[in-house]
Amino acid sequence: MYHHLKQLMYTVHIGVPDPRFGNMLLEQFGGANGELAAAMQYSVQGLNCDDPERKDLLMDIGTEELSHLEVVGTLARMHLKPLKSNRNAAFADPLIAVAGGGGVNLFNSMGNAWTADYLKITGELDVDLRNNIAAEARAKIVYERLIDFTDDSGTIDALQFLMTREITHMKAFTAALESLGKPAFSVGAIPPTPGLVDEYFNDSTGIGDRGEKDERGPWNEGGDWNMVTAPAFQELISAAAGTRMPDSQKGNGSTGPKGASKRRRD
Amino acid sequence: MYHHLKQLMYTVHIGVPDPRFGNMLLEQFGGANGELAAAMQYSVQGLNCDDPERKDLLMDIGTEELSHLEVVGTLARMHLKPLKSNRNAAFADPLIAVAGGGGVNLFNSMGNAWTADYLKITGELDVDLRNNIAAEARAKIVYERLIDFTDDSGTIDALQFLMTREITHMKAFTAALESLGKPAFSVGAIPPTPGLVDEYFNDSTGIGDRGEKDERGPWNEGGDWNMVTAPAFQELISAAAGTRMPDSQKGNGSTGPKGASKRRRD
Amino acid sequence: MYHHLKQLMYTVHIGVPDPRFGNMLLEQFGGANGELAAAMQYSVQGLNCDDPERKDLLMDIGTEELSHLEVVGTLARMHLKPLKSNRNAAFADPLIAVAGGGGVNLFNSMGNAWTADYLKITGELDVDLRNNIAAEARAKIVYERLIDFTDDSGTIDALQFLMTREITHMKAFTAALESLGKPAFSVGAIPPTPGLVDEYFNDSTGIGDRGEKDERGPWNEGGDWNMVTAPAFQELISAAAGTRMPDSQKGNGSTGPKGASKRRRD
Amino acid sequence: MYHHLKQLMYTVHIGVPDPRFGNMLLEQFGGANGELAAAMQYSVQGLNCDDPERKDLLMDIGTEELSHLEVVGTLARMHLKPLKSNRNAAFADPLIAVAGGGGVNLFNSMGNAWTADYLKITGELDVDLRNNIAAEARAKIVYERLIDFTDDSGTIDALQFLMTREITHMKAFTAALESLGKPAFSVGAIPPTPGLVDEYFNDSTGIGDRGEKDERGPWNEGGDWNMVTAPAFQELISAAAGTRMPDSQKGNGSTGPKGASKRRRD
Amino acid sequence: MYHHLKQLMYTVHIGVPDPRFGNMLLEQFGGANGELAAAMQYSVQGLNCDDPERKDLLMDIGTEELSHLEVVGTLARMHLKPLKSNRNAAFADPLIAVAGGGGVNLFNSMGNAWTADYLKITGELDVDLRNNIAAEARAKIVYERLIDFTDDSGTIDALQFLMTREITHMKAFTAALESLGKPAFSVGAIPPTPGLVDEYFNDSTGIGDRGEKDERGPWNEGGDWNMVTAPAFQELISAAAGTRMPDSQKGNGSTGPKGASKRRRD
Amino acid sequence: MYHHLKQLMYTVHIGVPDPRFGNMLLEQFGGANGELAAAMQYSVQGLNCDDPERKDLLMDIGTEELSHLEVVGTLARMHLKPLKSNRNAAFADPLIAVAGGGGVNLFNSMGNAWTADYLKITGELDVDLRNNIAAEARAKIVYERLIDFTDDSGTIDALQFLMTREITHMKAFTAALESLGKPAFSVGAIPPTPGLVDEYFNDSTGIGDRGEKDERGPWNEGGDWNMVTAPAFQELISAAAGTRMPDSQKGNGSTGPKGASKRRRD
C-alpha cells in the first residue's frame, strides 16, 4: 500500500526556465533509463520476489524511485513552462505544447511514449540484481550528462541529489548480489559445457580502415582462455581452395577442445 | 564488413517437431533478451567505441551473436514446420501461420515485433560492459528455462551450446570491465555527494500480509551505511499530531549527515 | 514523496491457482485500462495541475491506484504460480514462463508491453477530468468481466473491492468536474461557430444487410439540432445526373445555416 | 460500404506555408487525439454495436471524422511543402523530408507512428460513449491550441470548422448517453459494495513545498462521502510506536463501514 | 469527403461461429498486411499525390479498402461472438473477451495494436506503386491462407471476394506503374554508378549443413553481371597468410571494374 | 555463421561534421527503410526459404546489407561527433546526446526505436521478392534525398556507393522473380474469381476543390477492364428517391458479371 506526502523528496528551485533543457530532462522522467523505469523495474521485481530480505530492498528502492520521478517531473515542468506562451519554444516541442498544454507526460525527450519494453525483469534474483546494477550505472551517467548541459545552480543541485542516490542504489544492489554467495559466473542451475565455455571466438579479424586490429586482453588470453581463430575462417580458406575441411577440423578447427568436438555432429 | 558462411555455427538436429516449443524458442530469436538484441547491442556499442581493445571484443561477440541468431532461428523453424498443415497448431500461432506462412519472423513468443527499445547502449564503456554482463546473465537463464521445457535431445544439445557461450561472454565482459581498473561504484566523472551516498532510505515499512517486515543486510547496515528511517515517515507523524516538523528535522530527520542537510533548502 | 507500507490495501486469498485467469488478470496490471494506466494518468495530471484543490484529488486517487496495482499484481502472481512447473500452462504463456520465470511483468494478457500511449493527459483540467471519468468507467467494466470469468471466491472478493473503488473515483471525478461550474459543452476559451455547431451530418445512410437504417434520437433531433442530409450525397446525385450543383447548394445544401454557408469558399 | 467524393468537406486555403506549423498540425492527423483516432474509435465501436440507434450515430460521426482527416491532412501538406526544397525546414523534420519526400504520413508531430493503442473501445455502449465525450473534449482543446499558434486566416478558418464539429459531436454523444436512461454511476451489471463506494481515501497528505495541503470539496465531503484518513497512515504511527494496530482498526481504521470491514480478512 | 452506406460491399453469412478462426481473421482487420493498412497506405499516398490521374486511382482503391475493412471486421465479429459466453474461448482471447467485451478492435491475431509503421509511403509515385503491388501480393496470399484454415462456405465466399479484389488492385497498380513509362530500374533522378551497379557480391559462401552451396541464376550471371567473389574473402586469406593485400586488390579484388576501383580510397 | 572483417565495405571520409545531417542519416541506420530493415528482411526470408537457389541470393544480399549498416552507422557517427561538446547540437538531438553519449543507436531521425514491424516477410517466395523490389526502390530514393541534403563530397561518395548497390539488388531480385516463371498476377494457388477480378470500382467521384475529376488510364480502361460506377452510388440515388434497388441491380448494378452476381446473396 502506498502513501504520498505532498513534500518533494528534494525541494526544487530553478532560475530562468530553459525549455530546451526541460525537454532534455524528460529522458529521466519518461525515458528508457529514467525514474519510472527504475521504479517499475524494482517494484515489480519486489512483487515477484520470494527472498524476503532482498524483497524488502527492492521495495525500498522501488518506492524511492517513485519519489525521484516526482522530483524530476517537477523540475522538467518548471523548465517547460514557457511552452505555454512562447511560439518558438512550442514549435520545438509541439507534442508537449499542443497535446499536453505545456505539461509533462511519460515521454522521453523525443516524444516517445514510455514502454515496459525498457524493463529487465527475469524473476531470477541474481540476474535481476545485475540488471539493477546496470540500470543504476545508466541512470548515473545520464544525470551526469544532464548536469553538463545546464548552468542553473538550482537544477544542478537537484540533479546532483538524484545522481548521488543512483550510486547509493548501485552499492546496495551490489552488496545484495554479493551476499547471495554465488560462485562467479554461476547463473541458474545448469552448468555450461566445460572446455567450450573457455573458448574465445575471434569473429572479427583483419585490419580496419583506421588501423583497428585484433587485440588481446584478459578477456581472451591468460587464465583458462583458449583462443579460437575465427570459426568461419578455415572454411573460407578451404572453400577458396575448392576443398572441404575434414570433419575433425570443423568448427573450432585444430584447437579441438572437448567442448568444441562435442558440439558438432554431422 | 560481414561475410556469411552457409554452415551453421552449431549443426542442428531435432526429433519430432514441437510447434509449441518452437514458438517458445522465439523468445531467443526476436525476444527482449534474444540473440538479435545481443548482436545489435554489442555491435552498435562496438561501432561507437573509441577504446580499440574493447571495441575488438564487442565486435567479436556481436558477430558471434549473429551466428547464434541463425542457429536459434533454424531450430525454431524446424519446430514450427507443422504450422503449415496442422490447423490446431496454426490457431495457436495465427500470426506465424497466416502472415508468415509458417516461417519465423523477428517476433517474440507472443508475436511482439522486436524493438530497439530492448537495447541498452550508453556510449560509456564501463556502463555498457555492465549492460552486457546483465544481458548475458538474462540470456543464460532464458536458455536454461528453454532446456527445461523440452525433452528433445538434439534441441537440448543446441541450447546447451548457446547457453554455454553466454557464460563465455559474461566472463569476457567481466574481465574487460575489471581491466579498466576503475574504482568500485565509480561511473563517469562527477563524484556523488559524500554522506548522502551512504544513506539508506527505508521507504517500505510495516508488516506485510504474509509477515514481511523490515530486513537488514550488507546492503543497508555495516560499512558506511547510514539507515534513514522512512523520509516520509516523520512528516506523517507530525501531520497526524497537527504539527509540522521543525525544518532541521526535515528530509532525513535527525540523522543529519552533510549530504542530507545540504540537499534541502526551504 | 512516496512511502510504501508492506501490508496490501486489500488482503488477497485465492483457492486453486488458475493460470489462464491469472493471465487474463494482467489486463488490469499492465493493460490499457489497468491500474498502472490509472495511477500514471492521475499522478502526472496532478503533477501538472495548477488548481490546488483538484490537484490534491488527483494525487489522492493516483496514489490509491498504485496500491491497487500492487493488489492486482499479487493476485495475478498467485494464479500464475503453476507456470513454473506445468508445461501446458507454460506453453500457453511462454513469455511469462521463459522470460519472466513465472512472475508478472507490466504486460497485458497478450504480452504487449505497457505503453504511455494508453494515457490521456491534456493539461486542461476539465478535459482531464472527463478523461478520468471515462477511464474509471472502463476499469469498472473490465473488473466486472473478470469477475464473470472466475468462480474463486477470494479472487472475486478482491476484484469486487477494486471494482467498487473505480465507482468511488468516478463519483469523485464527476463531482470535481461539476464543481468547476463550466457551462455544458464549454471546453477551452474559443467558442464554436454558431449554427454549424448544431448541424448533424447524416454521413451514414441507406439500408444495411441486417435492416440497419437511419435512426433519430435526441442526438440528432429536437432542441437546436439541424439535420443535414449527407453532405456528400447531393453531389453524387448531381454527378450522376451529369451536372454540378449550384454553389449555393454545396456543402450542407439547402439547409444553409450561417455556419455552413460561411465555411465553404470556392 | 464507403464512397469518397473528391471535394473536401471544408475547402482549405492558406497564405504563406509554415512548415513548423504544418508539423504541429500532424497531431490532429496521426496523433493520439487526432482525426484518425476519432474515425477509427467511433467506426469500430459502430461495427461492434448491437443498439441499432446509437450504431447509426457512431457510423455517422465515424464517417465524418474520415472527412476531417482528409481536411487536416490537406492543410498539413500545404504547410509542409517547403520541406521539399528548404534545407533548414528539412533538418527540422527529417523523417518527413527524407522518408516521406515532403508528404504527410500517419505520424504525430514528433514522428511517432499512429497506433491503435490510442483507441478506447470497450464494447459497452455507455462506457464507449463516455470515451467518446472525453475524446471530443481532447480534440476540441487541441484544435484551440493549434489556432493559438498560427496567424494564417485560412488556416484558422479550417481549424475553427473542425473545432466546432468536435463540440457538435460532444453534444451528440452526451445526448446519446443520457438517452440510455442509466442511473448515475451505473456501469455494467454488478453493483459496487455499499459503504465502501462512499469512502474517500486521503492517500496524499502533508504540506507541499509550495504550500499544497489537504483540500475538501464536493468530491470528498458532503453527500454520502465518508473521509478515510490515509489508510496507510495509522499503520505507520503504530509501527513507529513499535506496536501493531488491533485488527479492528486496520484498513480504514475506526470509520468501520460495512464495506470496509468486509474487505479485509486476516 | 467520405460517405458511408449501411450495406456491406459483400454481404456476409456464416454457419457455426469459430472464435479461433475469428481471431485469425484479425490479421486482415488490424494486422500488418490487412485492410486498414491498405486503406491508409493508398489514401495517404493519394492525399500527397501530385499526378492527378494516379491520385484518382489511389483514392478509388483506398476507399474500396475501407469497405473491405468493414466486411472483414463484420466477419471476424460474427466468429468471435462466442467469446461473450464461452470461458474457454475467452481464455484463448483474453484481450478481446475482457477489454473488448467480445468485439473486434484494430489489433492483429496476437493482440498487437495496429501501427502506421506497417505503411510504406515515400511520396515518390513509382516507388509507392511498387509498395502497393507488393502490399496487394501480401494481402492476396494472406486471404488464401485464411481460406485454407476454414471450411465454412459463407466465410470462404466472402474471403474469395476480398482475395479477388486484391488481384484486381495488383493489376491496376501494375498498369499505373507501367504507364509512367520509366526505364527499368530507374528510381528518382540520380543514376547509379556504372560498373558498380552490375557487380554481384557473393557474400554468403561455403557448404551448408544441408548441402546448401553457391548458386547461379539470372540474378548473378549473364547480361551485365560481374560476379565478385566475396569482398571480405580475399582479406581473410591474406590475413591468414600474415600478409595484407596490395591496395589495388582491395574491395572487389581482381575484378576491378571502374565502379569498384572508384569506390575505395585509402 | 557470420564473420566480421574490420575493414569497412566502403571507406568513409568526411569533411566538417554536420550533426543535423548526421541525425538525418539515421533514417538509413535505424529507420523504416534503412539498412537494418533490409539486412533483417532478406536474411530472415533466406532462413525460411526452401528454394536453394534464391535462398543463396537472399543470404548474399542480406549479408551485404549488414556491411552497409556498418558503413552508414560509421558515417552518421562521424557527423554526430559534435553532440558531445556542442550544446545547441545536443539540444537538437537530446536522445543521442544524453542517453547515447553522442553515439548512434538503432533509432530513426526522430528517435523512434527500430521495430520489426518495418519488415515484410511472408514466406511466399514470389511475394517476398516483390517486397524486396519495393524495399530497394524505397532505399534508393531515400539515399538520393540524403545526397540532396549535403554538400560534403566524402559523404556523397559513400551515399552514392550505397545507393548504387540498392539498384544492383533491385535488379537481382527482379531477375529472381522473373526466373520463377509465374504467370502475371498469379500469387499463391487459389485463382481469383473470373469477371470480378476485372471490375474496376470507381469509389472516388465528383469534382475536387482543385479540379480533381475522374480519370481514365490503362489501370481502369482497355483490356479486360470493366468499369463499375461507384458501387455505393446507385444505392444513394435509390435511397434519395425513397426506393430500394431491385436485388438484381445491387452491388455492381447492371454490369452484372458472373463474379459480381455470385458474390452477393441476400
- For chain C, positions 157-186, list CB contacts with chain D under 8 A: 157, 160-161, 163-165, 167-168, 170-176, 178-179, 184-185
Q: Which chains touch E (3 or more CB pairs under 8 A)?
A: A, B, C, D, F
ipTM of the prediction:
0.91
CA nearest to A147, candidates F265, F87, B134: F87
In this complex, is the C-beta atom of D106 within 8 Å of any C-beta atom belonging to chain E? yes
- For chain B, positions 237-266, list CB contacts with chain D under 8 A: 237, 239-240, 244, 266
Question: Distance (Å, rounded) from C-alpha E235 to C-alpha B3?
Answer: 11
The CA–CA distances, whole Å, from D205 to A60, C56, C170 equal: 20, 9, 21
Average pLDDT, chain F: 90
Q: Which residues of B touch C8 (CB under 8 A)?
A: 208-209
What letter would DSSP give residue D110?
T
Q: What pLDDT was estimated at residue F65?
A: 98
Q: Kindly tell me if the per-residue pLDDT of C254 is higher than 90.
A: no
Average pLDDT, chain B: 90
Question: Which range is least confidently modeled, C60-64, E145-149, F259-263?
Answer: F259-263
B131-150: pLDDT as tens digits: 999 999 999 999 999 999 99
pLDDT-derived band at C232 (thresholds 50, 70, 90) equals confident
Across the interface, whether the CB atoms of F95 and A204 are under 8 A apart is answered no
List CB contacts of E194: < 8 A, sequence separation 6 or more.
Answer: E258, E259
Q: CB E198: neighbour CB atoms within 10 A?
A: 19
In this complex, is the C-beta atom of C9 within 8 Å of any C-beta atom belonging to chain B? no
F69–chain A nearest CA distance, Å = 16
A166-195: pLDDT as tens digits: 999 999 999 999 999 999 999 999 999 999
CB-nearest partner of A27 from F5, F98, F107? F98
Mean pLDDT score, B173-196? 97
Question: Distance (Å, rounded) from C-alpha A67 to C-alpha A62?
Answer: 9
Q: Kindly tell me if the per-residue pLDDT of C248 is higher than 70.
A: no
Question: Which range is least confidently modeled, B216-220, B244-248, E211-215, F151-155?
Answer: B244-248
- Residue E12 burial (CB < 10 Å; 0-12/13-18/19+)? buried
Comparing A17 with A262, which gets the higher pLDDT? A17
CB-nearest partner of A99 from D20, D32, D208? D32
Q: Kindly tell me if the per-residue pLDDT of A260 is higher than 70.
A: no
Q: Which chains touch F (3 or more CB pairs under 8 A)?
A: A, B, C, D, E
Interstrand relation of F2-5 and B2-5 (parallel, antiparallel or unpaired): antiparallel
Q: Which residues of C touch D64 (CB under 8 A)?
A: 201, 203
Determine the residue of chain E that is closest to D108 in CA distance.
Answer: E116
Across the interface, whether the CB atoms of E237 and A236 are under 8 A apart is answered yes
D251–chain E nearest CA distance, Å = 29
Question: Which range is least confidently modeled, A93-102, B225-234, D182-191, F128-137?
Answer: B225-234
Q: What pLDDT was estimated at residue B150?
A: 97
Q: Kindly tell me if the per-residue pLDDT of C10 is higher than 60.
A: yes
E105–chain D nearest CA distance, Å = 7
Across the interface, whether the CB atoms of B236 and D239 are under 8 A apart is answered no
Across the interface, whether the CB atoms of B235 and D209 are under 8 A apart is answered no
CB-nearest partner of B2 from F2, F113, F115? F2
Q: What pLDDT was estimated at residue C264?
A: 32
Across the interface, whether the CB atoms of F266 and C209 are under 8 A apart is answered yes
Question: Distance (Å, rounded) from C-alpha C103 to C-alpha A51?
Answer: 14
Q: What pLDDT was estimated at residue E208?
A: 92
**Does residue B127 contact residue A166 with C-beta atoms inside 8 Å?**
no
Please give the interface size between B and E, counted as residue pairs whose CB atoms are below 8 Å apart: 83
Q: What pLDDT was estimated at residue F232?
A: 82
pLDDT-derived band at A246 (thresholds 50, 70, 90) equals very low
CA nearest to E127, candidates E32, E41, E36, E225: E41
Q: Kindly tell me if the per-residue pLDDT of F98 is higher than 70.
A: yes
Q: What pLDDT was estimated at residue E232?
A: 82
Q: Which three cell numbers stand for residue B195?
A: 554522506
Q: Which residues of D touch E8 (CB under 8 A)?
A: 1
Q: CB B16: neighbour CB atoms within 10 A?
A: 8
E4-21: pLDDT as tens digits: 999 999 999 999 999 999
Q: What share of chain B is helix, strand, coil (3-state, %, to 5)?
A: 55, 5, 40
Across the interface, whether the CB atoms of F185 and E165 are under 8 A apart is answered no
In this complex, is the C-beta atom of C83 within 8 Å of any C-beta atom belonging to chain A? no
**Does residue E125 contact residue E49 with C-beta atoms inside 8 Å?**
yes
E220–chain D nearest CA distance, Å = 30
CA nearest to C77, candidates C40, C29, C111: C29
Interstrand relation of D2-5 and E2-5 (parallel, antiparallel or unpaired): antiparallel
Q: Kindly tell me if the per-residue pLDDT of A257 is higher than 50.
A: no
**Does residue E80 contact residue E104 with C-beta atoms inside 8 Å?**
yes
Q: Kindly tell me if the per-residue pLDDT of B234 is higher than 80.
A: no
Determine the residue of chain D that is closest to B232 in CA distance.
Answer: D206
CA nearest to A169, candidates A146, A140, A143: A140
Question: Which range is least confidently modeled, B177-181, D252-256, E61-65, F165-169?
Answer: D252-256
CB-nearest partner of B60 from A32, A53, A202? A202
Q: What is the pTM of this model?
A: 0.93
**Does residue D138 contact residue D167 with C-beta atoms inside 8 Å?**
no
Mutate to test the interface with B, among D236, D238, D244, D265 (most CBs of B within 10 A): D236
Question: Distance (Å, rounded) from C-alpha C33 to C-alpha D131?
Answer: 12
The CA–CA distances, whole Å, from D235 to B52, B204, D124, F151 equal: 57, 12, 39, 69
Q: Which residues of F touch D113 (CB under 8 A)?
A: 112
Q: Kindly tell me if the per-residue pLDDT of F264 is higher than 70.
A: no
F101–chain E nearest CA distance, Å = 27
Determine the residue of chain F that is closest to D115 in CA distance.
Answer: F117
pLDDT-derived band at A238 (thresholds 50, 70, 90) equals low
Q: Kindly tell me if the per-residue pLDDT of C249 is higher than 50.
A: no
Determine the residue of chain A that is closest to D212 in CA distance.
Answer: A6
Percent of chain E with pLDDT over 90: 84
Q: Kindly tell me if the per-residue pLDDT of E146 is higher than 90.
A: yes
| Segments of chain D scoring below 50 in pLDDT | 243-266
What letter would DSSP give residue B107?
B
CB-nearest partner of C206 from E5, E97, E99? E5
In this complex, is the C-beta atom of E146 within 8 Å of any C-beta atom belonging to chain B? yes
Q: Which residues of A touch B190 (CB under 8 A)?
A: 144, 147, 160, 163
pLDDT-derived band at E251 (thresholds 50, 70, 90) equals very low
Q: What pLDDT was estimated at residue C253?
A: 33
Strands (E), chain A: 2-5, 199-202, 204-205, 226-229
Comparing A96 with B248, which gets the higher pLDDT? A96
Q: What pLDDT was estimated at residue E36?
A: 98
What letter would DSSP give residue C3?
E
Question: Which range is least confidently modeled, B47-56, B205-214, D255-264?
Answer: D255-264
Question: Which range is least confidently modeled, A145-154, C202-211, F37-46?
Answer: C202-211
List CB contacts of C246: < 8 A, sequence separation 6 or more.
Answer: none
pLDDT-derived band at B112 (thresholds 50, 70, 90) equals very high
Across the interface, whether the CB atoms of D209 and A98 are under 8 A apart is answered no
Q: Kindly tell me if the per-residue pLDDT of E248 is higher than 90.
A: no
**Does residue F56 contact residue F126 with C-beta atoms inside 8 Å?**
no
Please give the interface size between A and B, counted as residue pairs whose CB atoms are below 8 Å apart: 269
CB-nearest partner of F6 from A110, A111, A206? A206
CB-nearest partner of F236 from C205, C244, C266? C205
Across the interface, whether the CB atoms of C5 and B230 are under 8 A apart is answered no
CA nearest to B72, candidates D194, F105, F101, F47: F47
**Does residue C168 contact residue C176 with C-beta atoms inside 8 Å?**
no
Determine the residue of chain C that is closest to E3 in CA distance.
Answer: C203
Q: Kindly tell me if the per-residue pLDDT of C145 is higher than 60.
A: yes
Q: Which residues of C touch F235 (CB under 8 A)?
A: 206
Comparing F257 with E155, which gets the higher pLDDT? E155
pLDDT-derived band at E253 (thresholds 50, 70, 90) equals very low
Q: Which three cell numbers stand for residue B154?
A: 538434439
pLDDT-derived band at F3 (thresholds 50, 70, 90) equals very high
In this complex, is the C-beta atom of A212 within 8 Å of any C-beta atom belonging to chain F? yes
pLDDT-derived band at B246 (thresholds 50, 70, 90) equals very low
pLDDT-derived band at A232 (thresholds 50, 70, 90) equals confident
F44-96: pLDDT as tens digits: 999 999 999 999 999 999 999 999 999 999 999 999 999 988 999 999 999 99
F216-244: pLDDT as tens digits: 999 999 999 999 987 887 655 555 555 44
Please give the interface size between E and F, counted as residue pairs whose CB atoms are below 8 Å apart: 273
Q: Kindly tell me if the per-residue pLDDT of E264 is higher than 50.
A: no
Q: Kindly tell me if the per-residue pLDDT of B82 is higher than 90.
A: yes
Question: Distance (Å, rounded) from C-alpha D60 to C-alpha B46?
Answer: 55
E61–chain A nearest CA distance, Å = 32
Question: Distance (Å, rounded) from C-alpha D213 to C-alpha B239?
Answer: 11
CB-nearest partner of E138 from F122, F190, F192? F122
Q: What pLDDT was estimated at residue F231?
A: 80
C131–chain E nearest CA distance, Å = 17
Q: Is the dihedral of CA F27, F33, F35, F36 positive or negative?
A: positive
Q: Kindly tell me if the per-residue pLDDT of B78 is higher than 70.
A: yes
pLDDT-derived band at E192 (thresholds 50, 70, 90) equals very high
Please give the interface size between B and C, counted as residue pairs whose CB atoms are below 8 Å apart: 82
Q: What pLDDT was estimated at residue C4?
A: 96
pLDDT-derived band at B250 (thresholds 50, 70, 90) equals very low
Across the interface, whether the CB atoms of D161 and C196 are under 8 A apart is answered yes
Across the interface, whether the CB atoms of F91 and A149 are under 8 A apart is answered yes
pLDDT-derived band at A250 (thresholds 50, 70, 90) equals very low
Q: What pLDDT was estimated at residue E139?
A: 98
Q: What pLDDT was estimated at residue F165?
A: 98
Across the interface, whether the CB atoms of B3 and E232 are under 8 A apart is answered yes
D60–chain F nearest CA distance, Å = 15
Q: Which helix (H) or strand (E) holds F205?
A: strand F204-205
Mean pLDDT score, A78-107? 95
